[in-house]
Structure 1
Amino acid sequence: MRPNEFQSFDFTFTHAVVGMALVSFDGTFLKWNSALSTLLGYEHNELQTPSSTVRTLLTQIREIAELGRSLSSLNIHPHRFQQDYYQPTGQLLSLEISISIISDCDGVPLYYFTQFENKTIIRQMEAQLQEAENNLLEKETSFLQLLEGLPLTVVITANGIIQYANSAGLQLIHAESLDQVLVTSTNDIVDLSNYQIVQERRERYYSGNTLGSVCYLINCLNGQQKYVDGFTLPITFNGNKAFIGIFKDISQQMLEEERLIQSEKLSTAGQLAAGIAHEIRNPLTAINGFMKLLRSSERMNDKYFFIIESELKRIEFIVNELLVLSKPQTTHTSKPVDLLSLLEQVSTLMNGQAALKDLKILPVCADQPIWIHGEDYQLKQVFINLLKNAMEAMNHGGNIYIHVHTTETESRISVQDEGCGMNEEQIRALGKPFYTTKETGTGLGFMITQNIVHNHGGAITVESIPEQGTTFTVTIPTLLEPEETAI
């Protein structure tokens, strides 16, 4: 992650007004902000060894998130759940926990991104409103006065038509008076993209199920769009069946969440830009020089045309590789892959970045292809990550060696650098999220690389000597019948 990207990620996460945490798939905190530790009632460092109450909360997060992953193929996404929680002081909180899965640019899941919001006041208000509905059926004037005093948006609808909105609600949608919204359809307020959510909630109510909380994108009267979060309850209003909804403006919160997620997704994007520019500039310089020679030459020279053509093909190759790496991968289709060709492509792609640091990538040279089975773009990501790690470990120039040894059953690919190396403790810590030896690293790169290699039936090992260098070796199964393969 580049320094400015890491700072943006860390600042947004640290200063968010709601509790946020990154949770591993085995149910442990990887990173959390001060808002979360305050909400849970602990000092920031105390969450490193959470109490039994917090561990129970983490177990619940993992179970709900795993359920969401198992139901994702059915387009069912339980992003949120309610959880009662007792602070160490004994105070009972009603938490709403939102869960989403953070993946890298290749779609590989990394960890859970969770948000914790204190809904205690809203739940208390919900209970109060329910009590008010039961006890104040004949006192609607007092009921409306209560709603007017609430700081949150309150809307009463009947058959999808607005019957009442309190002052906070009018302010939310930029209405000057209640007359502007009375007898207005909720379809005019809720954005078209959320109509299906509205319809599903209506069907759920008529089926006898509870409605629960909901998040809407709404259209304000001034043309502005906002996100609101809240809940609805059936009531009797003016002697008729109706619904009362209480909502909170979460537009800023949604913006913070989106910025955080985008920061993580873009943490590796653009890191090759300077190297690619350098790599493309070299053939362009050669083409320009030979064009000048052709203009000054009295006769055609086929050699010049051959060089120009080869340099143009080199530029086209680099651009195509960038397009492949940047294209979203919606499907995962394994196929036979020529390992040597893949390594050559990755080396070509990384040569520009290496040249900027006075480094040379010395790839393996062989005539016969070596076939393995896997996903081309993921395997490229593995060796790009390893080469990037090697380059970041070398600050004073040098060579990076790629060695390939193959048998009938497996291929071993080693990426060897001449960098600062690592000690045994650092090697053992590799693969843990957010453990890194770099000043601006996240520790996620090697974890992603490990996952890709393991998903291809392979393994990755590390050998390192401090101040002498490090060698990462990827072992992956070799295809037995390469003559039948095709890319």
Structure 2
Amino acid sequence: MTLQKFGKLQENWSIKDTLQPVVMEEVALQVLMNMSEGVLLFNDKGKILLYNSTASQFLKLESSSRLIESITDLMPQEDHAGFYRLLLSLIKEKRMTDYFVFRTDRTDLKCKCDLILIERDSVVLLIIRDFKEIEAAPVSEKVYQQVFLKALHGLLLSDENGKIITLNKQAAALLSLDPDSCADLTIDLFKESEITLSLNNEFQKKLSPYLYSDNVQTSINQFDDRFLEVIIEPGITEDYTLTVLRDVTQMVQMMEQMNKHDTLKIVGQLAAGIAHEIRNPMTALKGFIQLLESSVKEDHSMYFGVIMSELQRIETIMTEFLMLAKPKVSSLQNVNLANIIRETADLMQAQATLYDIELSVLSSGKELELFGDRNRLKQVFINLVKNSIEAISDGGHISLYYHSDERAQYVTVKDSGCGIPADHLKKLNQPFYTTKENGTGLGLVVSFKIVEEHGGKIEVSSCKGEGSTFTVIFPFKKDE
């Protein structure tokens, strides 16, 4: 760098004529680098060649997270065209003073700058004389209103009496409310819908990290089929309370599935461990009891019937245990679901007749086919019909109806029994849950598991005193 590069700056520097050029160059460079004003030198391409510590401090050049190579890298995109026009004017004027906006990582600076063209080397010297931070424009009330209305979560604003003043469309959708007709609603509706999830401690531990908690009132509420996390933050302003609604339905369902899977895994491990040890001595007991029965007086023969019945019940429990312990479907083949339904009806007809129950099979006329394990699928429908028979006390009817549409194949088992209370419906696929005096709580669990292994699901609808409907659904695969 030579002294001539600084052109008209010589008049501001006290440099003696007796100094040698090399010394003069060094002095000029030192003056430049130690000026109290910010100084940048850039070429005709805009590339920054040199800057002093003051410019670095003003513009955060050393600490910036951006890649800064050109003078325009420091400016907002919308200012680039105007800056280039100014440089064209500089060719004629040689020296100009103007204001520029320089953008740092955190703020914008409006700077008064001198631009000096050094023609010989086609470089421009930029000196920052003065600067001030540009304050962000205040956010208007309209902007805040739009943020409230278009927030991703549901938001409600209530007054000091709990009356809901306004809510956004997300909150209205989650609560199935009309935003314009909430004049008589209060946040007490969340207290009325607050639930205690039937979850064990391990489940609560898994779920809690995903829920919001920061010294605010948080609860899980159920509205129809949705689970909502309700976060109430009082005193958001002097007279208002903000309530945030977050849909955590998928999270709760996922955790319930994980909890159910863990329980089934434990049951399966238990079954695999003890079934063999129990079944062998039980087989021996049944054999000896049958031998003894012929040598005991007729007066005591009834006791043998009770013993054999109880042993049979133990064997049934162990069979259901082993069904849970078995691996996923393995004996797969193309099976005719319609044939399985008809065979199930034939098999259960005698038991239904015994209790004065009419058992019928209905269809849409179209045969249903599925790739799966025939015996395990048959076990599902036997379990469902057996449960329906046990739910009917004094005569009634059970219908098995199979049909299909473009989405899935359906088998519906409908009875006129006593029905299932609403609060019991969600517990039907929990191991060991039963409302029957002699039930094991495993039959339906096994059925749910088998259907899930075949890619299907079981839906249950019931009303106490009006019967129940179990619908087994096998969706078609995309390539079918």
TM-score, scaled relative to structure 1: 0.33
Which one has the largest radius of gyration?
A: 2
Higher relative contact order (CA 8 A, sep 6+): 1
